[in-house]
Structure 1
Amino acid sequence: MAKLVLVGIDPGYRDVSALQWALEWATATKQDLLVVSGFEIGQAEIPPEFHDEMLAEAHALIDAKIDSVEKEHRAPTQSLIVEGHPAQVVIDAVHSRDPSLVVLGSFGDGGYDQYAVGGVAHEVMAKLSRPVALVRHVGGHITGGEMIVGYDGTAATDDALKWVLNAARSTGARVTVVATGGTAVPEVSHRVEELAGHGIEAQIITVPGDHVDELRRLGDERSAAMIVVGSNGAGRLRELLAGDEGARLIERSDRPVVIVHQSN
């Protein structure tokens, strides 16, 4: 696992949930945190001093946000503020810094859209192959908390299962596997043992109907730290980024949602 977590935030938006969650995740997994923000000035020519003022203001806003969530023994934190389209700034930073996880939250009028499909997060996820966490509200505690993962036996959800088991090993979290698509409990249990050995316990729940509603319900009921799903799979979870089910999970869940892309 790379030793860096990247969070993209809007300096003009007041909510700090994504930053707070990213800081907790980086601290729990012993990684550094990079706070990235992009700002656009427009096409009109502006004096250099005005550009410098805008950059300084953005730095001040980001620093204030970082200070607002500062806590003892937190992960080392750096910031990167660049002129440019917010999504492209995040994408460029990911390519140059190679983080293990990209975190995005709700954004206001400072350049980022709400992370609905078609917004900045959709653009970022479409161009990146690494896990992306979408954080509207901070979930339960990461260290020693609970992580819920959707699984249907496809390669994409298998990668999501691998990711969450590794995360649980690092954080001491409990894992709940919501199995769909006719996947049997013994099959999932065997796969968990193959991937994680006997050191991690996972509760397995089978769902015959709407798996998205069950993921959301369990996430809220258990104050889960996150809900983890795979993308680009061939099974029922394949529509999570583009279909109605994905919109319901991503836009309505009060829990952070981690999207794990299928490996090649």
Structure 2
Amino acid sequence: MDDSILLPVDGSASSVAAAEHAIAIARVTGATVHVLAVHEPTDFEYLPADEREPLRQATEAHSREAANSVADRVDNAGVTAVRTVREGVPYRVIVDVVAEADTDLIVMGTRGLTAARETVTRVGVTTGRVLTLTDVPVLAVPLGGRQWADTDPTGPNRVVIPTDGSDAAERAAEYALELATYSRGAVDVISIIDETNPALKNAPAAIIELCREGGHDAIEPIAIAARNRDLSVTADVVRGVPHDAIVSYAAAVDADLIAMGSRGLATVDEPLLGSTTVRVLERSDRPVLAVR
């Protein structure tokens, strides 16, 4: 499944929470965890030259300490860790290292130390840009929410997989089912009838029923794949605002993980990271696996 997991860290509690999930996945897959700390170039032009270098060194030392602290944690868990410290813009360095390390999965906190300078959402600038710019699956771990790695180190006990039948949703499902297989977790495959779609406003029951049938058609291949792995499966088509319906459903079944495509079928006019995915990431208090 995974040979190489990239774990960006910055010393924040969010990145420590992400580390526990990277360790849990690496334990069952045998992957190497590449711990990466990035310190941004500092502009101290207003300071005398003899004062700039100590500050630069202090910034680098903080990154090195963050990397070593988490890498030691990984090593102590019996997982192979590789430590890397770089200078640069965090999301750009992360994307570069993804290619260098032949990364299969990125595990990172939804927000890091820069959160205080960012908008009041659960998704930090670095995480959002990494999700947008890389084709590698990203497991985004929120701070203070549901953490399956703390309760079952073999994997999530319950996974919600929203699908619209898109290729990205299929890929997310395949990855999530692999994780669930290790822990023998239950799987909920859901499709959403989007109540924000103007075409469905005041639509007759026959049209809604056609939408429901289409939802079941999207669900069925994933449900079959889950049953073929001897996993317990619940399939459901629900109505609502997509991101709210997904987050509410996951909370109602006490899911450990939401796994979804980062873009769906209705994203022609959307940016590279679909709006539903962004809103789920912003509102979810449990890890979200986003796959392009």
> Per the shorter chain, which TM-score range?
0.7 to 0.9
Instruction: Please give the secondary structure, in 1, of the residue aligned with 2:286.
Output: coil
Among candidates 117, 130, 136, match of residue 130 of structure 1: 136
TM-score by length of 1: 0.81
After TM superposition, list the pairs within 5 Å mapping 1:163-182 onto structure 2.
163-181=175-193, 182=211
- Does 2:254 align with 1:250? no
Question: 1:250: Cα distance to partner?
Answer: 0.8
Post-superposition Cα deviations, 1:76-128, rounded to whole Å, max 9, x if no partner, equal: 22221111111111111101012211122121139995776681122212221
In 1, are the aligned partners of 2:41 and 2:87 still within 8 Å (CA)?
yes
Counterpart of 1:38 in structure 2 is 38
Instruction: Please give the secondary structure, in 1, of the residue aligned with 2:240.
Output: coil
Mark the CA change 1:147 to 1:72 in structure 2 (over 3 Å): closer, same or farther. Answer: farther
Mark the CA change 1:113 to 1:96 in structure 2 (over 3 Å): closer, same or farther. Answer: farther
Instruction: Please give the secondary structure, in 2, of the residue aligned with 1:129.
Output: coil
Which sections of structure 2, spanning at least 5 residues, go unmatched? 194-210
Instruction: Please give the secondary structure, in 2, of the residue aligned with 1:75.
Output: coil
Question: 1:255: Cα distance to partner?
Answer: 0.5
TM-score by length of 2: 0.74
After TM superposition, list the pairs within 5 Å mapping 1:71-86 onto structure 2.
73-86=77-90
In 2, are the aligned partners of 1:38 and 1:89 still within 8 Å (CA)?
yes
Counterpart of 1:231 in structure 2 is 262
In 2, are the aligned partners of 1:3 and 1:30 still within 8 Å (CA)?
yes
Counterpart of 1:28 in structure 2 is 28
Question: 1:233: Cα distance to partner?
Answer: 2.4
Distance in 2 separating the partners of 1:237 and 1:33: 35
Mark the CA change 1:85 to 1:24 in structure 2 (over 3 Å): closer, same or farther. Answer: same
Superposition CA RMSD, Å: 3.3
* Structure holding more helix per residue: 2
Which sections of structure 1, spanning at least 5 residues, go unmatched? none
Residue identity in the other structure for 1:87: Y
Distance in 2 separating the partners of 1:70 and 1:231: 28
Distance in 2 separating the partners of 1:219 and 1:29: 25
In 1, are the aligned partners of 2:4 and 2:105 still within 8 Å (CA)?
yes
Instruction: Please give the secondary structure, in 2, of the residue aligned with 1:60.
Output: helix
Mark the CA change 1:237 to 1:32 in structure 2 (over 3 Å): closer, same or farther. Answer: farther
Mark the CA change 1:73 to 1:18 in structure 2 (over 3 Å): closer, same or farther. Answer: closer
Counterpart of 1:145 in structure 2 is 157
Aligned length, in residue pairs:
258
In 2, are the aligned partners of 1:29 and 1:170 still within 8 Å (CA)?
no
Distance in 1 separating the partners of 2:117 and 2:90: 6
Among candidates 156, 160, 177, match of residue 172 of structure 2: 160
Mark the CA change 1:204 to 1:112 in structure 2 (over 3 Å): closer, same or farther. Answer: farther
